[in-house]
Structure 1
Amino acid sequence: MTAGVLSPRARPRLGFLGVGWIGRNRLEAVARSGQAELVAVSDPAEVAARAAAEAAGGCAVLPDLDALLEAGLDGLVVATPSAAHAEQAIRALRRGVAVFCQKPLARDAAEAARVVAAAREADRLLGVDLSYRFVRGVPELRRLVQAGELGRIYAVELAFHNAYGPDKPWFYDARLSGGGCVMDLAIHLVDLALWTLGFPAVRHVESRLFAGGAPARGRSGPVEDYAAATLTLDGGAAVRLACSWKLPAGQDCVIEAAFYGTGGGAALRNVGGSFFDFTVDRFRGTARERLAGPPDAWGGRAAVGWAAALAEGARFDPAVEGVVAVHEALDRIYGA
């Protein structure tokens, strides 16, 4: 069965493939929003699937992607292990089903480009859960940069240190994950930097990767648990990036994206080691202006926005092509 064309403001019929912690969180956010009809879920873990179906109001539990694609869906939310994202997204798009995919969209830029091409050819809405764009205050930070209110941006500082690291074995196999902490964490901040700056070309990349304190060899061998990189952008801006798993940082995590220009600065920073609480501030010399702070339930905002756009009849959005540029930058970090 191939999905039909959705009429504007009809509630889209959604399926959820993968309902672990992230998938369940996005499912509950969409359910609360009322933007869509939740039709079915699928997950190899039967207990998780049935709990998610109950949270969705008693929707169907189906065995696999094939069954979901026969359920008359308008959209599919993909939250499975990374190695499966590209293939699953492409299969859905070719059936005329819009897709919202957990990051990373793919394991490298070539895979990501194939997914975007499938969405373009099918003229279906493709979204990627690059959720830090949706933290309250971040759209205003981007507006300040885009409007030139911070002057010419010449430096960006990005950091994401997770004191724990993933608890699933597949994260540590580059064939399944695409890489280590760069793919898991830095993807968010590289996206945030390029998206905020309007996706300038990346002219040069220097990087060093480590696994257990020893130099790591890109995507071959053990995946990296620490990375430091500098990206030089078109126009001369320098982006300095550091990310890690299991770093003894003295708190649960450190997350920062700071933009410095000839007319001032602005930054997103986490509060007290929190994974969820953030401030966004604007800087003028030694003075700061708070643009936003906690509490802020931002986690499911990207999924809800995608569902709302789908309800409005949105088709392929060329803005998603920026995700390929992000993957190209990550590929260069691994290959530099």
Structure 2
Amino acid sequence: MSDARRSRFAGVGCGRVFQRYHLPCADARDDIEPVGAVDLDAGRAEALFADRPGVWTGSSVDRLLKETAPDVISVCTPNDAHAEAVLAALDAGVAVLCEKPLAAGIDAARAIAAHPDADRLLSVNLPYRFHELLKPFTEVARDGTQEIELTFVTPGDRVWRACTPWYGDARRAGGGALLDLGLHALDILVTVFGRPDVHSCEVDSAEVEERARVGLSFQGVPATLRIDRAGRRLAMAVTVRTSSGTHVLDLRRGELRLADGTVVEAGGRPELAAISGWFDVVTGTAPSAIATAQEALGLQLLVQAAYERARPVSAAALLG
């Protein structure tokens, strides 16, 4: 494909998420051309593209938009810097893929979702709703549902903290593990069962929690959401007890284990689905479903409702 037909791509925030997901996804496509990147640490952006002299780097979002004239940008900054970058891009008529959450604070998230071009130009990176096993899981999970449990455990507190020290700053992060990982978990549950009622929330810290347990219900069906960002393993699974037995969607293993013993396996990298889908939309390669700003705001409002009910308990109680 000639350069004239390639969509111009730029990044805002050159940390772990941009390096591991957004940039490789762009590089894997013939119809995307990386043209610029900025970071508060301009040296990090420069070092990342040291072998690409044609890519403009710096620290100013306004200059990035002016110097590179991108068609699409990925916003991968700390949460408190999402709003400024997203709104600047939308004002310039540039398509945006924003990392979750929309913003550190709910007022800034509302401002993003209310932008007149948000519906047309903005998508949020919530990839698990596009998992290939979610549809067959939905078909069995809704049949006589009696109880729902979603557990999301990662060793992120140890693995990510060196790369993302701002996770421990409530002002910059906007919350702890519940806002960070809970949005993914809630997005799965909402996609399958609809919007829940929030009844209770327990956290291991009143500041920036690493563990949380949230009590929900979906049209009267009880559900429990467990988040642990300080675990020693990686696990992400939805367990549903129904009138026909127990079904488990194991997102970590890429397996759907049905009550009758059937196991359905998935392939690919589901964490890239939202990025690839948005690139498809921007380039006109293929129509694709996206996670909209209004949907991301709805999830963030659920997290806020949980935080308003939050009760600090010991980590041992949450792990029990």
Do Structure 1 and Structure 2 share a fold, with TM-score over 0.5? yes
8 Å contact from structure 1 (residues 195, 322) kept in 2: no
How far did 1:61 drift? 1.5
Partner of 1:132: 128
Report the count of equivalent residues.
299
Tell me the distance in 1 between the aligned counterparts of 2:83 and 2:110: 9
Give SS of 2:270's match. Answer: coil
Structure possessing the higher relative contact order (Cα contacts under 8 Å, 6 or more residues apart): 1
The amino acid that maps onto 1:302 is A
Are positions 1:236 and 2:220 aligned together? yes
Shift of 1:149: 7.1
Distance 2:114 2:236 in 1: 32
In the TM superposition, what whole-angstrom CA distance separates every residue of 1:215-246 from its partner, at most 9, and x where no partner exists? x2xxxxx211221111112x223221111232
Of 185, 208, 211 in structure 2, the residue corresponding to residue 226 of structure 1 is 211
What pairs up with 1:68-79 in 2 under 5 angstroms? 68-70=64-66, 71-79=68-76
After TM superposition, the structure 1 stretch with the greater mean CA deviation from structure 2, 256-265 or 150-159, is 256-265
CA shift, 1:190, in A, is 1.0
- What's the counterpart of residue 331 of structure 1? 304
The DSSP-based 3-state class of the residue aligned with 2:133 is helix
Which of 12, 16, 24 matches 1:17?
12
Conserved in 2, the CA contact under 8 Å of 1:269 and 1:280?
yes
CA drift of 1:335 comes to 0.5
Q: Matched residues in 2 for 1:59 and 1:288: separation?
A: 49
Q: Which runs of 5+ in 2 are unaligned?
A: 310-320
> Alpha-carbon deviation of 1:10?
4.7
Which residue matches 1:283? 258
Q: Contact conserved, 1:164 with 1:246, CA < 8 A, in 2?
A: yes
Question: Using the alignment, how far apart are the partners of 1:125 and 1:179 within structure 2?
Answer: 27
TM-score, structure 1 normalization: 0.79
Determine the structure 1 residue equivalent to 2:190.
194
Q: How do residues 112-191 of structure 1 correspond to structure 2 at under 5 angstroms?
A: 112-118=109-115, 120-121=116-117, 124-134=120-130, 138-145=131-138, 147=139, 150-165=142-157, 166-167=160-161, 168-191=164-187
Q: Give a deviation string over 1:22-41, Cα, whole Å, max 9, x none.
A: 11121111111223221111
Q: What letter corresponds to residue 275 of structure 2 in structure 1?
A: A
Structure with the larger helix share: 2
- Alpha-carbon deviations, 1:76-99, whole Å to 9, x = none? 100111111122211211221111
| One-letter identity of the residue aligned with 1:107 | A
Aligned to 2:312: none
CA shift, 1:153, in A, is 3.4
Alpha carbons 2:83, 2:108 under 8 Å: kept = yes
Q: How does 1:252-271 map to 2 (within 5 A)?
A: 252-263=233-244, 266-269=247-250
Q: 1:206 to 1:302 in 2, by over 3 A?
A: same
Structure 1 window deviating more from structure 2 (89-98 vs 150-159): it is 150-159
With over 3 angstroms needed to count, the CA separation of the structure-2 counterparts of 1:260 and 1:209, relative to structure 1, is same
Contact 1:172 1:223 (8 Å CA) reproduced: yes
Matched residue SS, 1:300? helix
Question: Quick one: distance in 2 between partners of 1:246 and 1:207?
Answer: 18
| Aligned partner letter, 1:158 | L
Deviation for aligned residue 1:319: 4.6
Alignment of 1:300-311 (within 5 A): 300-311=272-283
Mapped to 2, the partners of 1:46 and 1:61 lie a distance apart of 7
% identity of equivalent residues: 26
* Structure 2 counterpart of 1:246, from 218, 226, 230: 230
Q: Offset at 1:123?
A: 5.2
Q: Give 3-state SS (helix, strand or coil) of 1:189's partner.
A: helix
The one-letter amino acid paired with 1:232 is S
Counterpart of 1:162 in structure 2: which amino acid?
T
Quote how far apart the aligned CAs of 1:44 are: 3.0
Residues of 1 paired with 2:137 and 2:225: CA distance? 22
Q: Which amino acid aligns with 1:190?
A: L
Tell whether the 8 Å contact from 1:100 to 1:128 is kept in structure 2 after alignment. yes
The amino acid across from 1:240 in the alignment is T
